[in-house]
Structure 1
Amino acid sequence: MTQPLAYRMRPRNLSEVIGQQHLVGKGKIIERMVSAKMLSSMILYGPPGTGKTSIASAIAGSTKYAFRMLNAATDTKKDLQVVAEEARMSGTVILLLDEVHRLDKTKQDFLLPHLENGRIILIGATTENPYISINPAIRSRAQIFEVKPLTEENIHHALIQALADDERGLGQYDVELDEMALVHLSRATNGDLRSALNSLELAVKSTPPNTDGKISISLAIIEECVQLKSMSHDKNGDAHYDVISALQKSIRGSDVNAALHYLGRLVEAGDMLIICRRLMVIAYEDIGLGNPAAAARTVTAVQAAEKLGFPEARIPLANAVVDLCLSPKSNSSYTALDAAIADIRSGNTGDIPDHLKDSHYQGAKALNRGVDYQYPHATEQGWLSQQYLPDKIKKARYYEPKHTGKYEQALASRYEEINRLNKQ
């Protein structure tokens, strides 16, 4: 059976790796390890089709070590034993272990001594964040490298290479690829080179040649053959949390276009719960007293979205995102509370003043509870000066108002007036 084009075009050495120059370029970490013949185990993590397996096979090709591939989820301890025996008999083996985050304890315990003595050089591949998903015992014995999504230019270059390669690629076919088709194929797979190459091969092999023997690949043909990759993501994956983080930071930074983009990704993923929860957090954490009405409108939008469901839910959610983005921002209230909590946790509290203590029981007066308390509502201005904080921290000032919105500006004026009267 003929291997897929993406498999055949795997790099044979580091110089053939597409992209990832921050790792395999001249003078970069993996290139240095190969040049010095000082390979160590590593974990490569990043999106599918971006070159994790390619880097592993290129390392093996550059070093001439035996290269074996297993899957941590589906292959057994016995499969690992076969690799270990090969390493014992013939020397070092490079083991590419796909889905390394799913390595169970039995397989891990078997692998660890072989990693320690260097007989097996583990190259773990995963789409999950290894700092979250991989057992510390494995993580501590491997260097961690992030594999970046390939650029449109990277994909374009690899497709041209595949069309020209007579030995491994499609060079034996007389292909005429429309420029717009090439651009579309470079973009539509969103950095997944494997998908781009296999879509190209399908287009070439399924299109009959014309009378001149040429296989003409148009944009329409490529659109039929390429499997469009959605920018949505696994709800449990590391990328999901990156999108949530990007949404909040874009709203905090008042970039309405970026915020709508990340909202769109979450809408495409269909994750109503996390969108609604995150928008309410943002409303109170980032907008806060800068525009309290926006927080109330966000709660209303969330309630509407939950009742409507997708696809209509996107409408109130978009309203909320634009509103929050363009609202004045203030985190003064919760940072003030955090400052107060920090004092409490450090033991900086003190006893509650007697005049504030509960006096609604017999004998309270004898204990001086509630005595000398002054009732603010009994005054014309609704305020009077008396001590509320414990003696130990009576001068503490936690709340520092911001002046980003009219509402908090009014609060700040009242706050400063009260502080001034207190000093008098």
Structure 2
Amino acid sequence: MEKPLAYRMRPRNLEEVVGQQHLVGPGKIINRMVAAKMLSSMILYGPPGTGKTSIASAIAGSTKYAFRMLNAATDTKKDLQIVAEEAKMSGTVILLLDEVHRLDKTKQDFLLPHLESGRIIMIGATTENPYITINPAIRSRTQIFEVKPLTEADILTAVDHALADKERGLGDYPVHMEENARLHLSRATNGDLRSALNGLELAVRSTPPEEDGTIHLTLEVIEECIQRKALTHDKDGDAHYDVISAFQKSIRGSDVDGALHYLGRLVEAGDLAIICRRLMVIGYEDIGLANPAAAARTVNAVLAAERLGLPEARIPLADCVVDLCLSPKSNSAYMALDAAIADIRAKGSGDVPDHLRDSHYKGAKDLGRGLEYQYPHNFDNAWVDQQYLPDKFKDAQYYQPKATGKYEVALGQQKNRIEQWRKESRQKPR
């Protein structure tokens, strides 16, 4: 049986890797390691289908080392021993160890000395956060790199390569894919290249050719083969972003019916990941300090939706959307941060005042670090007037509270009290 398209199109070297240019692009860390022939074991973590196996395969192809693949959950210690024996016989072996977070103590203890010696270069792959799920003994012997979801452009590039490649891809098939079908394939798979390529192959091989022999891939064909509906059958594909934009703007504008309408369209399209991400953004961008509890409830609703999956996920999502629509709104905190970032970009960072600098190391006092720091808890109201900003920013004011929710009103009142304390402090004789 022929291997799936996603398997056949795995990159043979780093130049063929789609996406992840922050790791494999020219001058980036993995590219440098390969160029210098200074490979070390690593853990790649990120969502499924984003290129963890592809990067391992490309590293092996670029270095010409032997490449083996095992699964930490299902393969045995004996399988690891076979790889270790091969490494002794032929030199370095690159081992892709999938689900590395499932590595038990027996396999780990066997593997550690081989990682230490460099005979086995392990590339662990996981969808879990390695800082939480990977044993410290393994973590300390590896570099940890995050693999990010592929962009729409990345998916389109890979799809086009697969359609053109006559050796490994679908280049021998006379395929014509409508542009809206192509865009839907790149967007509806949410950065999962494996799903996009496997859906493409199913579409090509299961679609009867037209009278002229052409295999015509329409939006409806792609929808069926990836089991994801398009938001609407528009020609240029902009509806994907238009609906998401309208969804957020309806919530921001406190229009419950509009927000539920666009939520319904996203649910019908099966875009659970997009809904969850957008609601998290809305909770902190548009509601913010006007109602922090609503933002926290959004997190809980998203967790419940992800755990439930569609169609039941629509229930906590509906609760969340109504809650956010009717909540008071404030963007004051992130607008304040953006103002601070703009200031830094315009003026540079500035020196941290000496009294705020770290004073816990030997010689800090000789440098005047932390000597005049005043501990706020030693003063009334746990507040004392001292400079916190660098000199070039010392008069800057970024946060401007809004009066759209009880919580932020209280924050504004406290800010005003602190400003009054500062004014009184500076009027006292020194």
For normalisation by structure 1, the TM-score amounts to: 0.65
Partner of 2:177: 177
Partner of 2:381: 397
1:5 CA drift (Å): 0.3
Write the distance in 2 (CA, Å) between the matches of 1:40 and 1:412.
52
Write the distance in 1 (CA, Å) between the matches of 2:177 and 2:415.
68
Q: Deviations over 1:268-324 (max 9, x none)?
A: 32569xxxxxxxxxxxxxxxxxxxxxxxxxxxxxxxxxxxx9755555533433454
Alpha carbons of structure 1 residues 100 and 35: separation in structure 2 relative to 1, 3 Å: same
The unaligned stretches of length 5 or more in structure 2 are 229-268, 334-376, 385-399, 425-430
Q: Deviations over 1:230-279 (max 9, x none)?
A: 5547xxxxxx9x999767644426699x969978744632569xxxxxxx
Task: Decide whether the 8 Å contact of 1:252 with 1:325 is kept in 2.
Answer: no
3-state SS in 2 of match to 1:39: coil
- Percent identity over paired residues: 62
1:408 CA drift (Å): 3.6
3-state SS in 2 of match to 1:96: strand
Alpha carbons of structure 1 residues 75 and 211: separation in structure 2 relative to 1, 3 Å: same
Alpha carbons of structure 1 residues 109 and 244: separation in structure 2 relative to 1, 3 Å: farther
AA matched with 1:397: N
Partner of 2:76: 76
Write the distance in 2 (CA, Å) between the matches of 1:219 and 1:43.
38
1:17 paired with 2:17, answer: yes
Partner of 2:31: 31
Write the distance in 1 (CA, Å) between the matches of 2:46 and 2:209.
38
Q: Deviations over 1:155-181 (max 9, x none)?
A: 001101000000000011111111111
3-state SS in 1 of match to 2:167: coil
Write the distance in 1 (CA, Å) between the matches of 2:22 and 2:194.
20
Write the distance in 1 (CA, Å) between the matches of 2:147 and 2:51.
7
Which of 283, 305, 314 is the aligned partner of 1:268? 305
Alpha carbons of structure 1 residues 207 and 262: separation in structure 2 relative to 1, 3 Å: farther
3-state SS in 2 of match to 1:317: helix
Write the distance in 2 (CA, Å) between the matches of 1:410 and 1:57.
55
AA matched with 1:69: M
Write the distance in 1 (CA, Å) between the matches of 2:412 and 2:57.
65
Which of 288, 297, 300 is the aligned partner of 1:252? 288
3-state SS in 1 of match to 2:118: coil
Task: Decide whether the 8 Å contact of 2:6 with 2:194 is kept in 1.
Answer: yes
3-state SS in 2 of match to 1:53: helix
AA matched with 1:114: H
Write the distance in 2 (CA, Å) between the matches of 1:316 and 1:123.
42
Write the distance in 2 (CA, Å) between the matches of 1:409 and 1:210.
67
Alpha carbons of structure 1 residues 412 and 190: separation in structure 2 relative to 1, 3 Å: closer
Moved more, 242-251 or 175-184: 242-251
After the TM superposition, which residues 340-351 of structure 1 pair with which residues of structure 2 at under 5 Å, given as runs? none
The unaligned stretches of length 5 or more in structure 1 are 234-239, 273-308, 331-392
Partner of 1:297: none
AA matched with 2:42: M
Task: Decide whether the 8 Å contact of 1:195 with 1:227 is kept in 2.
Answer: no
Q: Which is greater in Rg? A: 1
Partner of 1:320: 323
Task: Decide whether the 8 Å contact of 1:232 with 1:266 is kept in 2.
Answer: no
Partner of 1:294: none
Partner of 2:360: none
After the TM superposition, which residues 161-310 of structure 1 pair with which residues of structure 2 at under 5 Å, given as runs? 161-228=161-228, 232=272, 249-250=284-285, 251-252=287-288, 265-266=302-303, 268-269=305-306
Write the distance in 1 (CA, Å) between the matches of 2:203 and 2:197.
10
Write the distance in 2 (CA, Å) between the matches of 1:197 and 1:31.
25
Alpha carbons of structure 1 residues 72 and 2: separation in structure 2 relative to 1, 3 Å: same
Partner of 1:60: 60
Alpha carbons of structure 1 residues 314 and 54: separation in structure 2 relative to 1, 3 Å: closer
Write the distance in 1 (CA, Å) between the matches of 2:163 and 2:151.
19
Structure 1 vs Structure 2 CA RMSD: 3.7
Write the distance in 2 (CA, Å) between the matches of 1:411 and 1:26.
52
Partner of 1:4: 4
Q: Deviations over 1:202-251 (max 9, x none)?
A: 00000111221111111111111014395547xxxxxx9x9997676444
Write the distance in 1 (CA, Å) between the matches of 2:162 and 2:194.
12
AA matched with 2:183: V
AA matched with 1:125: A
Partner of 1:293: none
Partner of 1:100: 100
Write the distance in 1 (CA, Å) between the matches of 2:65 and 2:59.
8
For normalisation by structure 2, the TM-score amounts to: 0.64
User: How many residue pairs end up in the alignment?
Assistant: 311
Alpha carbons of structure 1 residues 57 and 396: separation in structure 2 relative to 1, 3 Å: same
Write the distance in 2 (CA, Å) between the matches of 1:31 and 1:395.
54
Write the distance in 2 (CA, Å) between the matches of 1:243 and 1:135.
33
Task: Decide whether the 8 Å contact of 1:11 with 1:17 is kept in 2.
Answer: yes
AA matched with 1:320: D
Write the distance in 2 (CA, Å) between the matches of 1:111 and 1:394.
53
1:398 CA drift (Å): 3.9
1:40 CA drift (Å): 0.4
3-state SS in 2 of match to 1:123: strand
AA matched with 2:329: L
Partner of 2:159: 159
3-state SS in 1 of match to 2:381: coil
